[in-house]
Every structure is written in C-alpha cells, then in structure tokens.
Chain A
Amino acid sequence: MHWSARRGAEVAAQADFADAIILSVQGLGHSFTVNGKAVPVFQGVSLDIARGEFLGLLGPSGCGKSTLLQIIAGLLPAASGRVVFEGRPVVAPPPDMVYLFQQYSKSLLPWRSVCANVGFAISTRGLSRREKRERCLEYLRIVGLDGFADHYPWQLSGGMQQRVAIARALAAEPKILLMDEPFSAVDALTRLELQALVLDVWTQSKLTIIMVTHDVDEAVFMSDRIAMLGPRPSSVTTVVETSLPRPRDAISTRELPRFLKLRHMLLGTLLTRPGEAGSSIASRDSDHA
C-alpha cells in the first residue's frame, strides 16, 4: 500500500533521471498504404514510461493503438521515430519485453498442454525437465490454475485460456509487459477477475505494464497514468494521472468521486467528434464502454 501510493509522485519526481525511464517512445509515426497512397494512422507519438509504471493507452477503434503497441514490441518496424527500451533502440523483439495478445485462443499452442504452453516462454538452457515443470507450475499457481497443468488450452474456457497466456508471459520474467486489449474477448465478470489478477501480479512484481484498451472504465481502474490517442491521424492528445489509491477494489474504487470524474472526462473526450464543441454522449450510441 505504502509502496504503491508513492508511485505517482515518485514517477513525476524522478522523470529527469534516465534510469527511471524504462521505455521512451520518440516521435513515432505509422501509415497504411491504400491504393498506393500513404494514409497516416498516427504521427508524432511521444511518451516516456517510468519503471514500474502501469500505463493505459486509450483510444477509439481504428486509432492505431494496437499497431503502436506492436511497434513498441519490435514486432512491426516504425515508419518514423523510434522506441528506446533501457537505452537501446528497439528493432526486433528485445529481451525482457513480452507482448500479450488479445487473441489468447490463437496465441496458445493447441498441441501443447497448459504446462508446456507456459514452458514455451522459458529458455531450456540450464534447466532440467523437472525444474522447468516446477517453474511452470509456479506461474500457473500465480494465475490460479493449479490442477490444470495437464489440460489442453482448447479444454479450457476463454478466461482460463487468457490466464494461461498471462502465466506464460510472466514465465518469461519480463521487465515490461505489453498488453493488447487483454480482456476484450472475455465476459464482463471474467474481465473483472482478470483485471484484479493482473493488478495483483503487477503489485507483487517490479513489472512495468503498458495496456492498450478502448474501455475507459478499465483504463481508469487499472492505470497510474492514461495516454489518450485521438481520432486518425492520431497522436497523444491527453495524458492524465489517475491518482487513485491502491490497492484498487473492483467495486469501491469505481465509486470514488475521482474515478467518476476521470471516467466522465475521458469518455467525453472520446465521444466528441473532431470539430465539435463540448460533450455529445447522448448523440452517439456508446459501444465503447
């Protein structure tokens, strides 16, 4: 509690120290080619992510936030700008960084047992088969899947499959975890459970997390800081500190005045069409929340 509550202030105070910045996004731009013409998706995106921070990357569908995350992960090349992770420019997936896919069912290996899927993240060097299995079981315990080690992914529910994917990401022991709409494919209750699980894991480790989401509620609930991308061609339009106390509670945190105020402000910004003044929540059917 003490350690978590200090986070926000600490982040701001140490922003000058290079060591406090684990990852730096510098003037990133990307465009798709449509009929031979380059259509910009986002441009001039700059962000510094502090060590140990939980950053929410919020934006409407099609603003390129998943693409941005894939560039950060080194899975896609940047058209312009660069990403610096621990002092080194990212040109390929770097060590100590793991990308958690939205489509857990496509990201797990169906021919491997749950345990062996987690083992996919662990380098085989210097570990006996038994040691490796024990480490896999340990990570499965963390995500609450003890007893499912020898099941196959396709025998599990969607929420459990995403837990396997989370256990596998943790097993790689990254310093930074990139999550691409990690809970968007599971039902509402499972989503709340998984949010709590990820927050627990993050609190107990020294992990830095960047989470892409289009769910304002989720972004406010989980993040230290939220960077918001505007409509295409997008750039970071707003960065807000959530300044909500930790540990966060699925029910009471969402009832705090500060939570409601942030939610109101961010949703208002998201639902405002470009060039339109003020909030127009009533005029849009809201499939984002």
Chain B
Amino acid sequence: MRRGIPIMRRVPLGLLSCVAVIVFWQVLSGRAFVNPALLPPPSRVAPAVWNIVASGSIIEPLTQTLGLLAVGYGVGCVLAIGLGLLMGFNRHVYNVFEPLVELLRTIPKPALVPPLFLFLGIGAATKITIVALAAFFPVLINTVQGVRGVDPVLLNTARTFRRSTLSTIAEVVLPAALPMILTGMRVSLGLALTLVVLAEMLIGSTGVGFLILDLQRSFAITDMLAWVFILGVIGVSLNAAFETIEHAAVPWRSK
C-alpha cells in the first residue's frame, strides 16, 4: 500500500526542473532583447505574490472563483453520478442516452459559453452551468464504465444473499464503481478549474479569471503573473488534495 501525501513523493527530482525554469526566466528578463515591462523577472513577481497574499486582497477574487468552482463542480458530479448509475445499471436507459452523450461530450465546452450567456445572462448562472457541464461528462462516462465493469461475481453475491435492487446499487455497485468514478472526478476537477477561469474572462467582472484579464489590459503585468502563479498553486493543491482523498477512499485499489 502506498502511503503519504502523493505530491510529496514527486518533489525532489521535479523540483530541479522548476528551479531551472525560474532561473532561466530570471536570466532571460535581464537581457536587452527582452522588454522588462512585458516579462518582469521572478524576483519581482515573487514579492507581488506575497503582497497579494499578505494584504488580504487574495481573498475576494479567490473566494468568488472557488465558490463558483465548488457549486458547478458539485452539481456536475452529482448529476453525472446519478445518470451514470442509471445508464450503467439499465440497458434501456443506456440506449436512450448514449447517442446524446456521445454528441454533447465532444463539443468543446468553451464554445458553449456564448450561447449559454444569451439564456442565462452574465451572472453566476452561466458560469456555474458551464463548469457543471465541463465536470459532467468525464464523471458520467467513468461512472457508466465503472458500473458496467462491476464483476458479475459481486452482483451474483448480492443476488444469492437476496439483496434488493436498491440495496445492491447502494451497497455493492456504487462502492465497486467508486475507483472509476473518482478517476473521472479528478479529470473533471482540472477541466472545471479551466472553465471557471475562462468563463470569468468571457463574462462578468469578478473572480481570478476576470482579474487576470483586467490586469493585462491595464498593463499591470507583474500582478497579472502573480495571479497566474497563484492559480497554478491552487490547481496543484486541489489535485494533491483530491489524490489524498482518493487514496483514503479506495485503499483496496493498489492491491
């Protein structure tokens, strides 16, 4: 069984490449052929990050972005798991929805922002919907695969002990499909974060996405890069947190 926070295992060697890029960036931005106004060195971006964090100005945009992410991602995952269980468990439901799912999941989700914007306006509704849509499909597909992949021996075990359909789904199918569902949810988390930032850039005037675009337009390049860096840290942290939860939830998977 593997132990510990997953990200910690990757640090030592991975750290080298990160340091190399930062050093390269630092050296590059000191050169004559690079405009320091467009590429401020890490030595200037780092204090800017610190300022954003220390002054507390990180709180509002981050809360808005993560709030939208949580709601959209949550709604998307819950709906996907529900439909996925039905599709995986019932052949008729599967046959009804499968072509529609295949059609919709291939549409790049950013393309849906403008049409959704027409119906749902510039408020949170559009952003939550787009994030939910982005999160929905990977979770749905993995849930269906997970449910259909449940070992027949396990299902027959539930039958020989005379479990009802509902009890079989709750006590056997759902836990058995959980590893697959969680894998889908991890993929979705990255997509959802991408879409929430994109949606903020395209519509509305709040959140980290909007802020990055706004800072770029007002030539506050150092602060803009600081926020990009903060988003990167958020992405890595979310993924690490998710992997930790995943390992705790399915300890039998590594067996």
Contact = CB atoms under 8 A, between A and B. Distances in A.
Nearest to B175: A111
| Number of chain B interface residues as a range | 10 to 19
B153 A107 contact: yes
B157 A107 contact: yes
A31 B172 CA distance: 30
Interface in A201-241: none
A75 interface: yes
B31 interface: no
Given A110-B255, A152-B251, A73 B160 contact: yes
A259 interface: no
A93 B157 CA distance: 10
Contacts of B160: 73, 75, 93, 97-99
B159 interface: yes
| Number of chain A interface residues as a range | 20 to 34
10 contacts: A93-B159, A95-B162, A98-B160, A106-B151, A106-B154, A107-B154, A109-B176, A111-B175, A111-B252, A172-B161
Interface of A: 70, 73, 75, 92-93, 95, 97-99, 101, 103, 106-107, 109-111, 120-121, 152-154, 172
Chain B, interface SS category:
helix
Nearest to A168: B161
Nearest to B178: A111
Contact of B161 (A92, A103, A106, A120): A120
B156 interface: yes
A106 B160 CA distance: 14
Given A92-B159, A93-B159, 6 more contacts: A73-B160, A75-B159, A95-B162, A98-B160, A109-B171, A110-B252
Contacts of A103: 153
Nearest to A171: B161
B193 to A, nearest CB: 29
B162 A101 contact: no
A109 B174 CA distance: 12
